[in-house]
Amino acid sequence: MGKKKGPAWNFFNVKKDKSIQCKYCNTEYKHANVNKMDKHIKKCFKCPAGLKKVLNKYAKVAMQVMQFCCKEIPNMATTSNLEFEEHLRIDVDTDEPCQTSLMSSTSQNNATISVTKSSYSPSLLETVRPGTSTNFSSEMSSSSNITRLSKSRIDSSTFLTAFVDRMDETSNEVLNQHLAKAIFVSGSPFSLVEHPLWIEFFKKIRPSYCLPSRFRLASTHLDAQYSEMQCEVKRQLSESKHLHLQCDGWSNIRNESIINFVISKPEPLFVDFVMSKENRHEASYLAQQIEKVMKDHGLEKFFVIIGDNAANMRAAFRFIKEKYQSIVPLGCLSHLLHLLCNDILHCKSIQTFLSHATEIVKTIKRSHLVQAIFMRIQNQEDKKSAAISLKLPVKTRWGKLFALFPKLKS
């Protein structure tokens, strides 16, 4: 069995001397060459314009187009441009990788080649059974009349001869906002955007993307994120009907006095902080600040206020209770538990045991030799478990002591 002839042969006449002649322009070739024949059809000035347009623009599906046209359009070779256009309707308005569908309808004796935009789908070759509509739509795709004859996956690189990454200013700014939010929430340093390895990493991902500077992160983007999060917090609180307020005073690393306010709905949301500066944490001052926060977020929504068990905080709560009878002041259970544990730790027997445990930890941590021996013994006894790291207890966290004793025991 000889080799099957390609569709290009349908557009040429073969003479007795085995030379070939184009059926459109009568151009002759002494020897038949399929590649030359294909190229000639695409450039032939008498070839129907619609067919030539598809063949030139979508070279990968040229063979399917030729086969389709020869099969569905009678007397294809002698059809004029005008007659051809009546049979063949072409939509090639996009230069991007496309999804090509070939359809026919005997009811109108039409053939349709529809090239539709599809940025992500591979090219598909589909044929509709005779008698169906020629409109390529989602309804047709779901119809039982559609028969998929073949599926030809075309690599997108076939259409991509050159690539230049471009990004407009708006898209770049959107990415900057997402990056800034990730840096702020994760506590990453602002210097990250100026590190050469990070710059190289982002260039590999998106060459046209321009990273923001440290200054823009610390000013423009930080202010924007703060405003955005404040609006979101206010929106959530405005939609809640019942709230309770938590407040606590502490000192930051610069030894500045700060009062923090958290509102729960019941999910906690940090809403505000007050730097007391020269103001003493007296009951009247604390009550004034608590009342201000409640008024800002709807005084009628609050039914509980929570604070530590300090005398000034309890006195401030009494002021609030006298003024607003519906509000219930409560002490902090975590703070109460901490005070209870501190009282237990002040017992003489516990103090003796605690001092011995603390000395053991200090001895191990002060000596590099002792610490190395301690780690070696752990690795010898249990190679599967991670080595234990001893930490000294702190006065403000009784949980550190609770974690220390089991480690010493093990």
pLDDT truncated to tens, each residue of the chain (410 aa)? 556 676 677 788 888 888 888 888 888 888 888 888 877 877 787 777 766 666 665 554 555 555 556 555 555 555 554 454 444 444 444 444 344 444 443 334 444 444 444 333 333 333 333 333 334 334 334 333 333 434 444 444 445 555 677 888 889 999 999 999 999 999 999 999 999 999 999 999 988 999 999 999 999 999 999 898 889 999 999 899 899 999 988 888 888 889 999 999 889 999 999 998 888 888 899 999 999 999 999 888 999 999 888 888 989 999 999 999 889 998 888 878 888 888 888 888 888 888 888 888 888 888 888 888 888 877 776 666 666 777 777 776 777 777 777 777 66
Residue 123: Cβ-neighbour burial (10 angstroms; 0-12, 13-18, 19+): buried
Q: Is residue 110 part of a domain?
A: no
Domain ends where: 331, 362, 393?
A: 331
Confidence at residue 266, expressed as pLDDT on a 0 to 100 scale: 85
Q: Is residue 235 part of a domain?
A: no
Q: Is residue 135 part of a domain?
A: no
Q: Is residue 18 part of a domain?
A: yes
Q: How far is CA 158 from CA 16, 64, 115, 122, in A?
A: 39, 16, 16, 11
Please state the domain count of the chain.
4
Confidence at residue 125, expressed as pLDDT on a 0 to 100 scale: 33
Q: What CATH number does the domain containing 267 carry?
A: 3.30.420.340
Answer yes or no: do 246 and 316 share one domain. yes
Residue 139 carries which side chain, given as an amino acid letter?
E
Q: Which domain holds residue 180?
A: 169-226
Q: Is residue 297 part of a domain?
A: yes
